[in-house]
A and B are shown apart, each in its own frame.
Chain A
């Protein structure tokens, strides 16, 4: 009977010593986007680029050798009643640093570039955001509703979404 040999990669991954602190990440961001804004508070660095700079910035996030953000682990959208915010959480599997990118979108016409050609996981996540919020992702290969039926009217997760049949107001 074969005993399972569990191989353990030690926690000191190659490259872990090159993990950047939030300060160093901030310097790096400023090099890439000289006029980048940051949000304070929170355990991770939050960068808020403009929607027009997003695609180029995203490519640099993955390609830059000292950054190497290859793992997009959370893609969400927040409806702030006056505008939308797209939130992307990245981490680097090589260096183990984490970055949060927030992009403000216009509520009446939320359009942003897709990143599913950079991180394949974004394909489904962006479809979900489109389905629930109505954000248009340009150049997405297959932007359709994901959870709702194809002929659903309205964007359910928006704060002003009314559904007299299914939503119960207490």
Chain B
């Protein structure tokens, strides 16, 4: 996995980390310049999973391109689809029925929970504790089963359509989600006990990879990475979409900007997601699950930008349309891309083990970065 690329003139060692990783980051190739054990420079080499999605979408219709984004950040696939659907609805001025809005938000929050669970397990595994990974997946199975019943798939749930959702909820959905909420409330306290309060974890994460507030803004970081440095950037609060405006939840902020702060933000977000689901699960309005739209959608000439808060940060969909059935140009603003650009800044001066911890807390999903 690591082979030496050579030495620089100053006698520093240049090594590769990746592109294969033992944990679920994805194919990220880092070229690290080390002086002894201390990192002097980290250079990401991207493109191992570049599938030219933006170019592909130029030949897909507005109904088709939504599902390609599931494969970008596959852990927040619902949320990505949601962003695309919102953009198309903005362009076509489609009004989404209330039932569909609530269903979308429920699915979003379940996806966010599942993504954070996997992040937690993978991050603990990176630091050397192999057991939490299994515990995280055990809880994630419950969410996967709920998704499978309603949407038909466990990871890339192609469930959103412009105007609402594709099918109605399965009759078991409410009960299963309620059971899951009860189960997870006790488990998240276990997560705290197992990992958060463990002194070894804390000493491996505190004061490592500090990202100041100005740097977070300058590097364009969003999501938990930026919120751990004190930046208010929760899209669900700033530019609410669907029913987020009427749901009560807190934006989790920390101020230190180190690995532990990012960790605490994500744990806090898990609890907030749970509370959102609890609020909504009993109050799903009756009605249509999909607005009536034409079979073939044609966005009017112009450009439209919509943004959603995925588990990693701000996902932006920027559609430039010329009035045809396919978009002229789509740009996906992926959160991981900007978060990754801060890695070099954060890892300088630390050791390799620390860089693994930083990468773990940045929660990178490489297909999201490479598109």
- Spell out A's residues near B (CB within 8 Å): 1-2, 4, 6-9, 11, 13, 41-42, 44, 70-74, 76, 78-79, 87, 89, 93, 96, 119-121, 123-125, 128, 145-149, 156-157, 170
Contacts and interface: CB of A to CB of B under 8 A. Distances in A.
Interface stretch (B152-160, B212-220, B280-288, B289-297): B212-220
A11 B131 CA distance: 40
Interface of B: 46-47, 50, 52, 54-55, 59, 189, 192-193, 196-197, 215, 217-220, 222, 231-233, 237-238, 250-253, 264, 267-268, 271-272, 302-303, 305, 314, 316, 318, 320, 328-329, 331, 333, 337-338, 340-342, 345, 370
B220 A72 contact: yes
A4 B271 contact: yes
B230 to A, nearest CB: 9
Given A4-B264, A157-B54, A148 B197 contact: no
A9 B22 CA distance: 38
28 contacts: A1-B193, A4-B192, A4-B264, A4-B267, A4-B271, A6-B271, A7-B250, A8-B250, A8-B253, A9-B253, A70-B218, A74-B305, A74-B318, A74-B331, A76-B318, A78-B329, A93-B231, A93-B232, A93-B233, A119-B218, A120-B215, A120-B342, A120-B345, A124-B338, A148-B47, A148-B50, A149-B47, A157-B55
A106 to B, nearest CB: 19
Contacts of A6: 250-253, 268, 271-272
Nearest to B221: A121
> B interface, by DSSP: helix, strand, loop or mixed?
mixed
Contacts of A124: 337-338, 340-341
A9 B197 CA distance: 26
Contacts of A120: 215, 218-220, 341-342, 345
A170 B326 CA distance: 14
B217 A70 contact: yes
A119 B342 CA distance: 12
A44 B318 CA distance: 13
From B215, B268, B305, B337, residue with most partner A Cβ within 10 Å: B305
Given A9-B253, A74-B305, A120-B341, A147 B59 contact: no
Given A8-B251, A13-B232, A147-B50, A73 B314 contact: yes
Given A6-B268, A156-B52, A170-B59, 9 more contacts: A2-B192, A2-B197, A6-B271, A6-B272, A73-B316, A87-B331, A93-B232, A93-B233, A148-B50
B222 to A, nearest CB: 8
Contact of B219 (A8, A79, A121, A147): A121
